[in-house]
Amino acid sequence: MPRSDASNAGLPRHVAIIMDGNGRWARQRGLPRSAGHVAGVESVRAVVRTAVDIGLANLTLYAFSTENWKRPLIEVNHLMTLFRGYFRKDVRQLRDMNVRMRIIGNRSRAAEDILSMIEEGEKLTEGNTGLNLAFAFDYGAQEEIVAAARNFACAVKEGTVDPESITVESFSKQLQTGGMPDPDFVIRTSGERRLSNFLLFQSAYSEFLFLDTMWPDFRRAEFLAALEHFVARDRRFGTVAPEAVA
Ligand code: FPP
């Protein structure tokens, strides 16, 4: 599905991926879990490059959930080291590929140096007009929804918002993905079939694809194959197909 193919017709507007299975990938090979995360970073690179090559508009990658802090400290520290390496090294390439990167999630718990790298990356790429790339980092959808509700509650209390005026659209804009279209395609690797607190509000009408492939094995070919699944699906948004109406 190269960029020249039918002007990307049928591609999802926003793909969101739950990158799962790094630990099992490593265990299957007799390696430490950390080796799975290292290989997982290569999959991130491959998927981002593929998204750029095919002209995808929006990609969100679930890099670290609010619950991931509960992992053993040694693993959390290793993941943070990988994020540091990625944000330090890859951001210039993202800029050169016309990618605009941003982070969605809680910015108050990560180490200061990581936060500054993230902010630098966002600044460096903010003028880019190609792929919108969001890393969900210290992200949890329930927290995100509650924060949006709290914002509205405060605004109502202050008298700046009329409760009757709150709509799905105005609520969506308060979410951290505000400005991006809702994901029309959510992929999860590693055989697990759950959302794990990822984009719960935004995925109301998403198509889902659950793959047995472990994240470190999910590279360009696997991503393109997954997109073929989406293209083949019949999306009706709660309506019926016109030919099915008697
Ligand atoms: C799930 O595998 C993966 C994660 C918790 C983190 C995702 C991180 C990466 C892909 C690497 C770093 C990313 C960036 C953006 C630089 P798991 O450990 O839950 O695997 P398991 O379910 O098999 O144990």
**Residue ranges covered by each domain of the chain:** 14-140+183-232
| E runs forming strands in the chain | 14-18, 58-65, 100-104, 132-139, 185-188, 207-210
- DSSP assignment letter at 219: -
How far, in Å, from the CA of 175 to the mean position of ligand 1?
24
**pLDDT for position 2:** 40
Q: Is the CB of 83 under 6 A from ligand 1?
A: yes
HEC per residue, 34-98: HHHHHHHHHHHHHHHHHHHHHCCCEEEEEEEEHHHHHCCHHHHHHHHHHHHHHHHHCHHHHHHCC
pLDDT score of 236: 66
* Catalytic annotation, pick one of 8, 53, 68, 197: 68
185-188/132-139 β-pairing = unpaired
- 90 among known catalytic residues: no
Ligand 1 probe mutation, 17, 18, 19, most atoms within 8 A of CB: 19
Contacts of 157 by beta carbon, 8 Å cutoff, 6+ apart: none
Confidence (pLDDT) at 1: 40
Q: How far is the CA of 113 from the centre of ligand 1 (A)?
A: 21
**Closest ligand 1 atom, residue 24 Cα:** 23
Pairing of strands 100-104, 185-188: unpaired
Atom nearest to 68 CA in ligand 1? 5
pLDDT at 41: 98
- The CB of 37 under 6 Å from ligand 1? The reply is yes
Does the beta carbon of 24 lie inside 6 Å of ligand 1?
yes
DSSP reduced 3-state for 227: helix
**CA 146 to ligand 1 center in whole angstroms:** 25
Long-range contacts of 70-79 (CB under 8 A, 24+ apart): 75/33, 75/34, 78/34, 78/37, 79/37
Q: pLDDT in tens for each of the 246 residues of the chain?
A: 444 343 466 899 999 999 999 999 999 999 999 999 999 999 999 999 999 999 999 999 999 999 999 999 999 999 999 999 999 999 999 999 999 999 999 999 999 999 999 999 999 999 999 999 999 999 999 999 999 999 999 999 999 999 999 999 999 999 999 889 999 999 999 999 999 999 999 999 999 999 999 999 999 999 999 999 998 886 666 776 666 555
CATH number of 14-140+183-232: 3.20.20.100, 3.40.1180.10, 3.40.50.12780, 3.30.230.10?
A: 3.40.1180.10
Separation CA 181–CA 236 (nearest Å): 17
Residue 44 in contact with ligand 1 by CB distance below 6 A: yes
196 in contact with ligand 1, CB cutoff 6 A:
no
Q: How far is CA 185 from CA 10, 30, 46, 230, 238, in A?
A: 12, 33, 18, 7, 16
Is 20 considered catalytic here? yes
Q: 34 CB less than 6 Å from ligand 1? A: no
φ and ψ of 17, to 5 deg: -125, 130
Please compute, for residue 45, the number of CA atoms within 13 A of its CA located in the half-sphere on the CB side: 16
